[in-house]
Chains A and B, each alone.
Chain A
Amino acid sequence: MSDSDLPAHMRPERSFQGLILTLQRYWADLGCVVLQPYDMEMGAGTFHPATTLRALGPKSWKAAYVQPSRRPKDGRYGENPNRLQHYYQYQVILKPSPPDLQELYLKSLYAIGIDPKIHDLRFVEDDWESPTLGAWGLGWECWCDGMEVSQFTYFQQVAGFECQPVAGELTYGLERLACYLQGVDRIMDLNFNGREGPEKVTYRDIFLQAEQEYSRHNFEYADTEMLFTQFKMAEGACRKYLDDGWKAGHNSKRHLMALPAYDQCIKASHVFNLLDARGVISVTERQSYILRVRELAKACGEAWLATEGGGVGL
């Protein structure tokens, strides 16, 4: 549609990277800062401080970025057509949520080549909750011809704090969307660079080996003793940086190290996911680990609200 002047290999329906580039341009054009992925392992784009922390506090914020997402438990040694332990999410966060957010979202689908005249687009109830982040929101999963292509959420609470104002969050599952646009049934079959013939690079060329190796690691070899230690270390570090940050702020109204502390919370969360995949956490313990991460997230949220980014000095 709007990208018809692009060369074929750059088009969103021809290549995985073309899809990403189109979304980047679309949201950049609407005034979002286009960020790069956060440089830490995380389970979803929501964990990026540009979403979790920036969703808190009174300041306006518009951002879009790709976030590699790691779900150790979802690994299938590259054999399942739709399930990977590492995949990409495209994340958009708009605070406050604009009144025409649904329209903006739909237009992004038109931009990547989904024509509403022949495709059935639907908003189907799906309330979102992240127990580890102490966050919840209301929204939908967005369907295109019966396939879930995005999550659409109005954040109500993050890190245990009310969102004032509320942010709108859009999460596109890029691989699934690309499969749909390219008309392929397996993620590994995706054309990554849009070229044909010897120049063509597929998702398989890049990621199959990684899926196999990481599945092996996640389920069979990840060093659990070390991971238990790492969890404790990250938890301890998070607490320490939070305490130090309050002290350095000289009073309880300012915090000077919310971001480094939050990094340790992200770390703890990912280590927990690895331990969970290794099957060494029992059902009852599982709940208590989730609670421990949530406590960190809450404390980080509280610290963030005492920083400039969180609205101090406005």
Chain B
Amino acid sequence: MPDLLLELFSEEIPARMQAKAAEDLKKMVTDRLVDAGLVYEGARAFATPRRLTLFVQGIPARQPDLKEEKKGPRVGAPEGAIAGFLKAVGLASIGEANIQKDPKKGDFYVALTEKPGRPAIDVIGEFLQVVLRTFPWPKSMRWGEASAQPGSLEWVRPLHAIVATFGPETEEPEIVHVATGGITSGNTTYGHRFLSPGPIKVRHFDDYVASLEKAKVVLDPARRKEIILNDAKNLAFAQGFELVEDEGLLNEVAGLVEWPVVLMGQFEESFLKIPDEVIRATIRINQKCFVLRDSKTGRLANRFILTANIEAADGGKAIVAGNGRVIRARLSDAKFFYETDLKIRLEERLPKFRDIVFHEKLGSQAERIERIARLAAELAPLVGADVEKAKTAALLAKTDLLTEVVGEFPETQGLMGKYYALAQGEDASIAAAIEEHYKPAGPNDRVPTDPVSIAVALADKIDTLVGFWAIDEKPTGSKDPYALRRAALGVIRIVLDNEIRLPLFPTITKAVVTLMNGDAVKATDSPIAIAPNLFVFFADRLKVQLRDQGARHDLVDAVLAQQGQSQDDLLLIVRRVEALGKFLSTDDGKSLLAGVKRATNILRIEEKKDGKTYHGKPDNHLYLQPEERQLAAAINAVKQEAAKAVAREDFEGAMAVIAKLRPDVDAFFDKVTVNVEMADRRENRLKLLNEIREATAAVADFSKIEG
């Protein structure tokens, strides 16, 4: 069967877009093949800086024929209707149509049309035109003379040539005809921009890959990555170093070259006085080079690895020298910044924050830092941190934002603060807190464990949340410009991982009070509404978090539904969910759940019917059957015992107690009819059901549990 080879040859495609573009091309083409009834055997897509390539194997040469039956007018219909029908189905006379019998409505004409499948090459040519016009580049552009007219072709960068061949491996392929934006498809591509720029005639995928390789182009990005990684490791190893691996950088570098050539350069040892992270950031971000570690000391070596796109005539001497010069210039900037920063103590930077707006409606950074420090001091005893240390750490936590190094490399925020704090002799846990108060910054980031770090991290996040809630800038849908979901999730993870008992309502309220006492804040939301609203947000984030960890969402709902303002402790909520999950996996649990649900269902129906709720104690004298008495007695015992267990926060214990109700609940439903004629008896039995509901409500709202 024929194969399709497609190459879109353009000016340099941004590295970060290549992988997705290759996937998009594959999906767009294969989806359309399937829609056209052309079932293929396999497809692979590739990208280099200058080309997107798709290879689809085993496409049928033709679409299958389509048989269709089209219903026409009834026999004896007016001439106009018959003529219209013939035209629509493409028949010459009505004699060619069949007649279908229908004794009820009368016989009618039916035309059997056969739509012959078209050659695949034509179908592909047509849809490629659409693919090129609707390709989902994150940003695309117009160019050249054609851009004088509206509607000219848009591509990520100017598109220069299209290779589109179609045919079985054994034969000379045909060209799929595509013409757009002044480019007509053909079978010519080009080699490496500098090493082998000439035209290349292409037939099939195999010779295409081989010719490109000969013309110094490695088509497969995975292979380019492999070459770079291997060569870099070997080069490092040969000189007693170790490559500091960096997947993101590797991906980017592989997208910047068609013919990777790995070279090593060096810089003066004196630059190693700069912290490793700053050296790495300088070399990585600005120069897209790898750094090396000294295998013996574990510290960075004064070497770097670059990936060139050419095999240079001088063996790479000029390239290494040039890159080295740029890196030296960058490092001397970084060193200068670092040394300048060390001359000013962190606390001396604080006054400057008065002139920096944090948010128009939330005042200056100085005011925000004050708030965080106050809150951190209040939280400190709750998390076992020293109050003074927490306060100092909070005051210093943001000061590195005003340093030169962080100005140049924003991703070193926190980290530089730690270095500068240590350099000026601060306590180790204060220095650590400066770095860690931003954590966890994402789902894979570490959660701080040092009490001082915890106090500042919580204060920072809670102040942010309360502030944006106060000015009504909550996240909506996919929009969360201030990363508030991340902040809430950060609080949740810190609390849970460290098993911290933190009542949210008083904590939030404290933050609200601090916020409102400042004169900078122009709140738009009622301060009283902030705590409950924010708690709902926390509950939602917690639900998402627990669900991601595999907890049943209905159990989370069941526990949360039972939470009132007095139950605002994230750790306890999670323990309840865990206990509930365990309990429900036992036979007792399952069967009790069935009983409780039955009770609540009956109650719901009857309460709705009667327009009242059945609260209050059942009357002992109105019991008729032993099962009623038995159940009532069991509930009384269980209620007290369960309440005690809950008070001890022993939720598993509470569940075990509640499980004791199971035989009596089962017996009750077995033998007792609730809806009896005698009104007082009926009411008494409904009240007994309510007792079941309330006894179990101590742990969760069972009606929210599924199954």
Contact = CB atoms under 8 A, between A and B. Distances in A.
B237 interface: no
Contact of B318 (A102, A123, A145, A163): A145
B94 interface: no
A145 B313 contact: no
Given A164-B149, A164-B150, A145 B323 contact: yes
Contacts of A99: 144, 158, 160
B14 A156 contact: no
B12 A118 contact: no
A173 interface: no
B354 to A, nearest CB: 12
A156 B141 CA distance: 7
B319 interface: yes
Contact of B319 (A82, A119, A123, A125): A119
A120 B143 contact: no
A138 B322 contact: no
Contacts of A156: 141-142
A190 interface: no
Interface in A178-231: 180, 185
A165 interface: yes
B565 to A, nearest CB: 39
Contacts of A147: 322-323, 325-326
Given A127-B139, A145-B321, A118 B313 contact: yes
Contacts of A180: 322, 325
B327 interface: yes
Given A120-B312, A164-B149, A185-B329, A97 B144 contact: yes
B14 A118 contact: no
Interface string B148-182: 11100000111010000000000000000000000
B357 interface: yes
B309 interface: yes
Interface in A21-75: 58
A282 B158 CA distance: 40
Contacts of B139: 127, 138
A185 B326 CA distance: 9
A81 interface: yes
A99 B158 CA distance: 8
Contacts of A291: none
Interface residues of A, number: 39
Contact of B147 (A81, A125, A138, A164): A164
Contacts, number: 120
Contacts of B160: 99
A102 B9 CA distance: 14
A43 to B, nearest CB: 21
A283 B329 contact: no
B27 to A, nearest CB: 23
B329 A284 contact: no
A124 interface: yes
A283 B357 contact: yes
Nearest to A165: B148
B141 A144 contact: no
Given A81-B329, A102-B11, A165 B144 contact: yes
A138 B356 contact: no
Query: Number of contact residues on B: which range applies?
Result: 35 or more
A284 B360 CA distance: 8
B322 A166 contact: no
Nearest to B315: A118
A16 interface: no
A131 interface: no
Given A102-B11, A137-B141, A166-B147, A282 B310 contact: no
A119 B141 contact: no
Nearest to B312: A118
Most buried by A among B144, B146, B288: B144
Interface string A276-312: 0000001110000000000000000000000000000
A189 B13 CA distance: 37
Contact of A125 (B14, B287, B289, B309): B14
A123 B321 CA distance: 20
A165 B147 CA distance: 5
Contacts of B145: 96, 165
Interface string B324-336: 0111110010000
A214 B67 CA distance: 83
A121 B141 CA distance: 23
Interface string B288-299: 110000000000
A313 interface: no
A99 B161 CA distance: 12
Nearest to B12: A123
Given A146-B327, A165-B147, A125 B15 contact: yes
Interface string A150-175: 00001010000001111010000000
Contacts of A127: 139
A274 to B, nearest CB: 19
Interface string A219-251: 000000000000000000000000000000000
A97 B145 CA distance: 7
A168 to B, nearest CB: 8
Given A146-B287, A185-B325, A122 B256 contact: yes
A120 B144 contact: no
B147 A119 contact: no
Contacts of B201: none
A125 B322 contact: no
A163 B321 contact: no
Interface string B270-290: 000000000000000001110
B12 A140 contact: yes
B16 interface: yes
A165 to B, nearest CB: 4
Contacts of B148: 58, 96, 164-165
7 contacts: A96-B144, A98-B144, A146-B322, A147-B326, A156-B142, A165-B145, A166-B142
Given A146-B322, A165-B144, 15 more contacts: A99-B144, A99-B158, A117-B194, A118-B317, A119-B319, A120-B319, A121-B309, A124-B256, A124-B288, A125-B15, A146-B288, A147-B322, A147-B326, A164-B147, A185-B325
A-B complex: 9 closest residue pairs judged by Cβ atoms:
A145-B322, A125-B14, A146-B323, A165-B148, A123-B12, A166-B147, A117-B313, A120-B308, A165-B147
